Homo-oligomer: A and B are copies of this chain.
Amino acid sequence: MEAKFTKASTLKKLIEAVKELIDECNLECSSTGITMQAMDSSHISLVSFELLAEGFEEYQCNQNISIGINLGTLSKILKSASSDDSIRIFTDENIESITFEFINNEKSIKSTYEIKLIDITGDPVGIPETEYSVTVSMASTEFSKICKDLGVMGETVKVEQKDKKVIFSTSGELGTGSIEINEGENIDESTTTKIESNENIELSFALRYLTLFSKAAPLCENVTLSLELNVPLVVEFPIGEMGALGSIKYFLAPKMGDEDEEEDAEEEMEEWNN
């Protein structure tokens, strides 16, 4: 396997977007590109990404291989790369290690890091095809801000869609907080809020996970939330620097009641495993 990212920042942002949810993962490489899928360590949420071969500056892979890596190690190595460096990654012949080569065309410097692959067991989950009755597209910076701001007041966020507006709200010991976004009012056209909806909906989620998902905001100026009753929420960020020939998706089951919610959510996600 050999692949080249034009900008190191793409891979840096991608790893930052998953490393707080999962410690290690298998990159599944094939001739069509690289995919990854993993449940977070508490088995509440699922994250997956897909990088299509056409989205790389160069990409070549003649067999299906699994590249097991520790994301903490990878994140440390990537700190060495300037955002404008290009990155070439390749495996050795026996697929026992992976090498990261950072190339900075303006300087006389070339950095190379080689790390041993690790064995990670676990089959990918089958994600069922779902029709979502509500999809909301909004600026990813606004999504991040909503998660951060409401996180001050509570732990659970209620997402309510009606009449072309979406209300995120929470309550806690200090009081209540609520943030309303309306379709179409955003001044910057490329990130205007768009709401597609067949019916009104009201779902609750663990704010902590949405906040972790929002770490992907630097990957794209837009994010799409897909909502459906009794079905995990999908938070999707296209990868802007790959011309959207790649994307990252997070799945999180809604909270069912007032007690044992995390267990409910865990069961919901576990079902996909079976």
Chain A residues within 8 Å of B, Cβ to Cβ: 70, 73, 76-77, 79-80, 97, 106-116, 142, 145, 148-149, 152-153, 174-187, 192-193
Q: Find out whether the CB atom of B193 lies under 8 angstroms from the CB atom of A79.
A: no
CB distance from A157 to the nearest CB of B (A): 13
Contact A176 B114 (CB under 8 A): yes
- With a CB–CB cut-off of 8 A, which chain B residues contact A185? 107-108
A112:B181 contact, CB within 8 angstroms: no
Given contacts A79-B152, A152-B76, contact A175 B114 (CB under 8 A): yes
Q: What is the total number of copies of this protein in its complex? A: 3
Known: A73-B174, A79-B152, A152-B79. A179 touches B106 (CB 8 A): no
Q: Which of B111, B112, B149 contacts A80 (CB 8 A)?
A: B149
Decide: A108 near B77, CB < 8 A? Known: A113-B176, A177-B113: no
Chain B residues contacting A176 (CB-CB under 8 Å) are 113-114
Given A77-B152, A79-B152, A152-B77 in contact, is the A175-B97 Cβ separation under 8 Å? yes
Cβ A184 vs Cβ B108 within 8 A: yes
The reply to whether B110 and A179 form a contact with Cβ atoms under 8 Å apart is yes
- Asked if B152 and A80 make an inter-chain contact with CB atoms under 8 angstroms apart, the answer reads yes
Residues of B close to A70: CB separation below 8 A: 174
Question: Which residues does chain B contribute within 8 Å of A184, judged by CB atoms?
Answer: 108
A182 to B111, CA, bound (A): 12
- Supposing A175-B73, A175-B97, A175-B115 touch, asked if A108 and B186 sit within 8 A by C-beta, the answer is yes
B186 and A112 form a contact (CB under 8 A): no
Given the contacts A73-B174, A77-B177, A175-B73, A153 and B113 also touching, CB distance less than 8 Å: yes
- Smallest beta-carbon distance A163→chain B, Å: 14
Taking A73-B174, A108-B185 as given, write out 20 further A-B residue pairs in contact, using a Cβ cutoff of 8 Å, ordered by the A residue number: A73-B175, A76-B152, A76-B174, A77-B153, A80-B148, A80-B177, A107-B186, A108-B182, A108-B186, A108-B192, A109-B181, A112-B177, A112-B178, A112-B179, A113-B176, A113-B177, A113-B178, A114-B177, A115-B174, A115-B175
